Amino acid sequence: MGVLLAFAAVAAGAAGQSNPAPTMTLFVDESQAPRQIAFVHEEIRVRPGVVALAYPKWIPGEHGPTGPISNFDALKVHCGGVALAWRRDPDDIFTIKVDVPQGADTITVDFDTLVENTISDHQLLLAWNTAVLYPLGIDKRQLMIAPSIELPPGWKQGSSLQVVSAVGDRVNFAPLSLERLIDSPVLAGEFFRAVPLKSQWPAELDFTGDSQAAIDKADDAHAFSLFGKLVDEDQAMFGYRHWEKLHLLISQSAARNFDGLEHEDSPWNSIDDAGLSKKDVLEATAFVNLAHEQSHSWCGKYRRPAELYSKQDYQGPERTSLLWVYEGLNEYIGFLLATRSGFNDQEYLRNWLAFTAANFAHEAGRATTPLADTATEDWVLRSAHGPWSSLRRGQDYYDEGALMWLEADVLIRTESRGSKSLDDFLKSFLGQRDTGPVVEPYTRADVETALNAVWPYDWHGFIEKHVYEVNDRPPVAGFEAAGWKLVYNATPSGPLWFSVFPEVPESFEGDSIGIEVQKGGKIYDVLPGSAAYAAGLGPSMTILAVDGTAYSVDALKVAIARPQNGRISMVVRNFDSVKTVEIAYAGGLRYPHLERIPGAHDYLSEILTPRSK
C-alpha cells in the first residue's frame, strides 16, 4: 500500500531566499494552562492520498523516545469542513494516518495536549514538541511553520522567537523551521520579567515566579551579576557563539523545583520558589543545571554526535553512545563555568567531585559494564532508580565522563608544562567560529583528532581505556595528577545538591558499612561487597533498631562510629518478617573528601579560576 511521503515540498523560493513561505500553521491555545490542558490547531498543506502525520518521538536533549504520546489526545482531522477518519499505525504508535480526498490541498488538525506544559497555576513552559503533528518524513530543517500562542489573560512570555504581532493575549511569531521551533520553547507567566545582562555578549534573563515577590526579589543573591559573569566566562572559554542573543529562561516554583533542558539560544531551567534570590539555591543548581544547560549551546547543540543527529525528523531511532562527550564533557564544562563565574566556591565543587568519585569507586557494576554502555542505554537508565543501582550503574556518562575530562585537562596541562589546557580544545572544537544556530556533527574520531591538534597524545587509547573497556579502577587519576587525593574521614561531606528530592537517602553510609538509608530507616540501597551485604541486608528493608536503640540517623551513626567488639546489631523488617542481623565492621564513619597532596602542583585550583576580564 503506498504511504505517500506525503508532503509537497516547501514552497520553492527564489534563489537565496532564506525564509520560504510556511507550509503549516500551528496555534497553541494555552489560555487554560492552570487547568493543565492546551488546545492545538494546525493547518497543514498536503497532497491527496494517504497522509502520515508524526508526533515527535525522539526529543532533542532528552536523548530517547520520550515524546509524551500518552498526553496527546482528542484528535480531530478535517478537510474542507468535513471530518476525516484517522487511524494509528500499529507498528509505530507515534504515527497517525488519514486519507485525504482528491482535490484537497489542506487539512486542519486539532488535538489536546494534557498536563505537559503547566509549571504551576502562574507559569507555563510551552515545549513545542508536545504540541505538534507534522508530516512524517519531512526534513525538520526545511518544514516552515507559522506558530502562535494564546496566553492566559494578562500573562507575558519570553523566548528566542521573533514576535510579529500580538492581539489581546495571542502572540504571533515569525515563521521558522520545525527544528528551530522545537528548539525555542516559550516561558510565560502571570509574574514575568526580562532583564538584560551586563555581559560582553548580548544576553537576557527571562524569568517567571509564583508571586510578585519572587520577581521583585530576584536579585537579592546577586543573580543578575552571576549570570552576566557566566556569559562572560562562556566567551572566555569558547571564544565564539552560535546565536545572536541568548535568552536564559528560568522558572521559579516549588511545584517544579529542579529541571532543565538545553536549547541553542534559549536554555530553560526551573529552580525553587524565589530561587534567584537565594544563594543556596543558585549554588546548588548552577554546576549541574544553570551553567550546564546553557553551555550545551556549544556542547550538544552546535556540536552534536553525528549518530545522534542521523534522522531528518524526530521519529528516530538515534544512537546515544557518544553521550560521554555530549553530556560528560558538558558536565565538566558546567563544573568549570559555575565555579569560575562564582555561583559556588571551589570547596563546594571539590566536595561534589569527592562524593561522586567515591560512588563510582564502590560501584560493583564497573567490573562488568563499560562506561560507554551507560550512554548507549541512556534513556532506559534515566527512568531506572532504586535498588541495586551499583550493579545496574546509572547515567555515569555524566559524572564519570566529567572525571575523565578532568584527567584529560590535567594531562594536557602537565605534558605541555602549562602552555595548553582543555580550554584550547573547547575553543577549537566547540567554539570554532561565529555561526547562526546550526548543527556541526562529529564522530569519536573527530574528537580524537581535535584533541591531538591541541596536544599530541594517544587519545584513542586514553578514551578506549576510560570509556569503552571494562574498568573497575576508581576514576581518581585526574585528582591525583591535579594535586589532590580522595580520602575518607568521619567528617560528613558537604551539602549535596540533590538532597531536596523526597526519595533521596538522608544517610549515606556506603563508604563504611555499605548502605544508604531513607527517612524512617528504609534502606535505599546496599552495596555488594560491603559488610552490610555480607550480613544479608537488602534494599527496602526497614531498620527498626540499631544496637538495642530505636532507629534514628544519630543512633545509626553512633553504632557505626563505635561498634561494640567490631559488630553492629540491627533489627530489620522485610515485608512481614522481622529479623536480627549482625554486621561485622570496625572501620568507623567514612565520608569522602579531596585533600591536597603536599608539594604537588595544584592544577585543580588553576582550572577553577575565572578566565574573563
Residues that bind Zn ion (CB under 5 A): 327
- Nearest 5°: phi and psi at 596? -65, 140
Give whichever of 235 and 295 is closer to Zn ion, judged by the CB atom: 295
Question: Cβ closer to Zn ion: 210 or 293?
Answer: 293
Which residue, 42 or 331, is less far from Zn ion as judged by CB? 331
- 123-126 and 134-135 beta bridge pairing: unpaired
Which residue number places its CB atom closest to Zn ion?
A: 327
Least distance from C-beta 431 to Zn ion, angstroms? 18
CA 227, 231, 237 angle in degrees (round to 5)? 135
The sign of the dihedral angle between the CA atoms of 515, 519, 521, 523 is negative
414 φ/ψ angles, rounded to the nearest 5 degrees: -70, -50
Q: Cell for 481?
A: 595528577
Least distance from C-beta 421 to Zn ion, angstroms? 22
Q: What residues does 157 pair with on adjacent strands? A: 188
Nearer to Zn ion, 206 or 293 (CB): 293
Q: Report in angstroms how near the CB of residue 296 gets to Zn ion at its nearest.
A: 6
* Cα–Cα dist 551/361, whole Å: 28
173 or 287, CB closer to Zn ion?
287
- Name which of 327 and 423 has its Cβ closer to Zn ion: 327
Please identify, using beta-carbon distances, which residue of 260 and 510 lies nearer to Zn ion. 260
Cis peptide bond prior to 317, omega within 30° of 0? yes
Measuring CA to CA, how many Å separate 172 from each of 206, 244, 283, 524?
19, 21, 37, 49
Nearest residue (CB) to Zn ion, 38 versus 329: 329
Least distance between Zn ion and beta carbon 262 (Å): 6
Nearest approach, Cβ of 320 to Zn ion (angstroms)?
Answer: 12
Query: Which CB, 253 or 395, lies closer to Zn ion?
Result: 395
Nearest approach in angstroms of CB 467 to Zn ion is 17
> CA–CA separation, 531 vs 526, rounded Å?
10
Q: Cβ closer to Zn ion: 273 or 327?
A: 327
Please report how close the Cβ of residue 396 comes to Zn ion at its closest, in angstroms.
14
How many angstroms separate the Cα of 23 from the Cα of each of 29, 40, 128, 145, 332? 20, 17, 17, 6, 41
Task: Please list, in sequence order, all residues whose beta carbon lies within 8 angstroms of the beta carbon of residue 456, skipping any fewer than 6 positions away.
Answer: none
User: Which residues 6+ apart lie within 8 Å of 171 measured at CB?
Assistant: 148, 149, 151, 157, 163, 165
**Tally of CB atoms within 10 A around 607:** 21
CB 189 → Zn ion: shortest distance, Å? Answer: 24
Q: Which CB sits closer to Zn ion, 288 or 447?
A: 288
The Cα 183–Cα 200 span in angstroms is 24
Identify the CA nearest to 610 among candidates 400, 342, 378.
342
Would you say 137 and 7 are in contact if contact means Cβ atoms under 8 Å apart?
yes
Q: How far is the CB of 395 from Zn ion (least distance, A)?
A: 10
In the three-class reduction of DSSP (H, G, I as helix; E, B as strand; rest coil), residue 31 is classed as coil
Q: Which is nearer to Zn ion, 99 or 307 (CB)?
A: 307
Closest C-alpha among 247, 240, 227, 239 to residue 185: 247
Query: How far apart are CB 114 and Zn ion at their closest, in Å?
Result: 26
In terms of Cα–Cα distance, which of 179, 147, 178, 140 is closest to 162? Answer: 147
Cell of 548: 538495642
Closer to Zn ion by CB, 327 or 400: give it: 327
Tell me the C-alpha distance between 415 and 124, whole Å. Answer: 50
| Distance in Å, CB of 384 to Zn ion, minimum | 18
Per DSSP, what are the bridge partners of residue 261?
268
Look at residue 36 and give its three-state secondary structure.
Answer: coil
Question: What count of residues does the chain have?
Answer: 613
Rounded to a whole number of angstroms, the minimum distance from the CB of residue 299 to Zn ion is 9
Residue with Cβ nearer Zn ion (173 or 298) = 298
Pair 396, 359: CB distance under 8 Å: no
Least Å from the CB of residue 405 to Zn ion? 14
Q: One-letter amino acid identity for 410?
A: V
Helix 328-340 and helix 346-361, axial crossing angle in degrees, nearest 10 = 150
Alpha carbons within 13 angstroms on the beta-carbon side of residue 577 total 4
Q: How far is the CB of 98 from Zn ion (least distance, A)?
A: 37
